[in-house]
Amino acid sequence: MRTSPAALWCLVALLVPVAAAAEPTQAPNVLFILCDDLRPDALGCYGSKHVKTPQIDALAAAGVRFADAFCTTSLCSPSRASILTGLSAHRHGVRNNFTELPAALPHWPARLREQGYATGYVGKWHMGENNDAPRPGFDWFVSHTGQGKYFDTEWNVNGERRETPQGYYTTVVTDYALDWLQSRQAGQPWALCVGQKAPHSFYFPEPKYEHAFDDVRVPYPVSAFQLDGKPDWIRQRLPTWHGIYGPLFDWRKSFPDTSPEGVKDFENMVHAYWGTVLSVDDSVGRLVDFLKTTGQWDNTLIVFMGDNGLLEGEHGMVDKRTMHEPSIRIPLIARGPGLPAGRVVNEQVLTADVAPSILAACHAPPLADIDGRSWLGLLTGTGAPWRTEWLYEYNYEKQFPYTPNIRGIRTDRWKFVRYPHGDSTPDRHLPELYDLVQDPGELVNLAADPAHAATRADLERRLTALLAARRLTTEADRMPLDEGIKSALPDQKVR
């Protein structure tokens, strides 16, 4: 049967209002959940064989899962500042874990507050080690100093009182979040940030999950024993605070331990890390239940993510900071009005993209002159061409002398990593070059391979151009002097 042009026009006319009605007409609420040091592969929806996370998996199924999401500095405070402001570390200035987020910097919750949102932050803030006072941009701010504790943390409740509710951090932070959500006024949109401590070290699961993985064997990864051709500092890191033969965040009492039997300490550490994630999944379930039972599920944007990745034995390392894949990969899931369901995005998205994306989803004015881009266009196929390369930066920390300065570039296929000395003199560490398509585990460093000299030269040039575009010439790119990898343990107060 043929359809006449007029009939087609009528059909289009009928469809247009339906399509328009699908667009959200009222400002969506925002529930933002930030985990600390969460590896994507510690979640079921990112392929974990052992960690069951049905609540988080359900969010991914109902929304968008970003398969290639990255932090641009793999460290808590710099990454958190990028997520809030849309800026890279060299621009927001939070370049270590002891720097306050500059109060004058615009960030996405503050922008939503200007648009009439009620804004709340509960949980780990961790920009400004000893300051638990309320920060600008939030109507309600409940946090603590430093890392907080898995049990019985002392909280500063909105600058009004300090209290120490007994119990497990993940449960307590969810209780606070639900208290605030229950007190919302009908008709006013809200944005709530929930800063989870989990699964950050030192890993203490909730008692009911202490033995959840007793039957799972966890060997050291293959890459821990394939360090030939890698820069020397990687071998030097092995027995330190951030190496697999070191104390493993107290899971090993006698160290360094290079014995094969020492893997049992490593296995216990990973089990505990996974255990803390199970409680995060329970927390997500409670928050989602609340939204559904109060009729707010359909009009709430939920963004669930981690602040940085984590090495779990890869290349002989624990902790993060480096530019290797497990250190820079983060989980990122977004679900809400106007977003597709069951979509997996493979473009490289960054921590700095979160702020512009949330603001765009809320139809709020964008933050000016930022480094990140909204990924909403990626979801609808209407955006401009997406980035194909980006800059990674990390600055040597005297308090944690286990990782050199890093300036690196990651393209869709290649990764090139330089380790500047910090005084504009030529690099003293061998760089790293990986073909991420042929070698996703980064086992073979191609930096010194003559067959890849042209690729290395091209990536060096592109990295220099990325830096220069941000006015980070060799002379202008200030960073600490690399004092080398050291065996000393970090100060107890900052671990």
- Binding residues vs Ca ion (CB under 5 A): 36-37, 76, 307-308
SS3 355: helix
Kindly tell me which of 84 and 433 has the beta carbon lying closer to Ca ion. Answer: 84
At residue 271, what are phi and psi to the nearest 5 degrees?
Answer: -55, -45
Kindly tell me which of 15 and 494 has the beta carbon lying closer to Ca ion. Answer: 494
Burial class (CB in 10 A: 0-12, 13-18, 19+), 43: buried
Kindly tell me which of 180 and 402 has the beta carbon lying closer to Ca ion. Answer: 402
Kindly tell me which of 76 and 376 has the beta carbon lying closer to Ca ion. Answer: 76
158: left (phi over 0), alpha (psi -120 to 50) or beta: left
Q: From CA 63, how far away is CA 303, in angstroms rounded?
A: 10
Kindly tell me which of 56 and 118 has the beta carbon lying closer to Ca ion. Answer: 56
From the CB of 155, what's the least distance to Ca ion, in Å?
20
User: Which alpha helices (H) appear in 435-476, and where do they start and end?
Assistant: 453-469
From the CB of 74, what's the least distance to Ca ion, in Å?
8
From the CB of 84, what's the least distance to Ca ion, in Å?
14
Please state, in angstroms and as integers, the Cα–Cα distance from residue 263 to each residue in 218, 220, 488, following that order. 8, 7, 22
Closest residue (Cβ) to Ca ion?
76
From the CB of 15, what's the least distance to Ca ion, in Å?
46
Burial class (CB in 10 A: 0-12, 13-18, 19+), 129: middle
Q: Which amino acid, one-letter code, is at 307?
A: D
Kindly tell me which of 97 and 445 has the beta carbon lying closer to Ca ion. Answer: 97
Rg (CA), the chain: 23
From the CB of 83, what's the least distance to Ca ion, in Å?
11
Quote the tokens at residue 120: 């709340």
Q: From CA 72, how far away is CA 17, in angstroms rounded?
A: 42
Q: From CA 260, how far away is CA 250, in angstroms rounded?
A: 18
From the CB of 36, what's the least distance to Ca ion, in Å?
4
From the CB of 73, what's the least distance to Ca ion, in Å?
11
Kindly tell me which of 127 and 479 has the beta carbon lying closer to Ca ion. Answer: 127
DSSP strand pairing (29-35 vs 190-195) = parallel
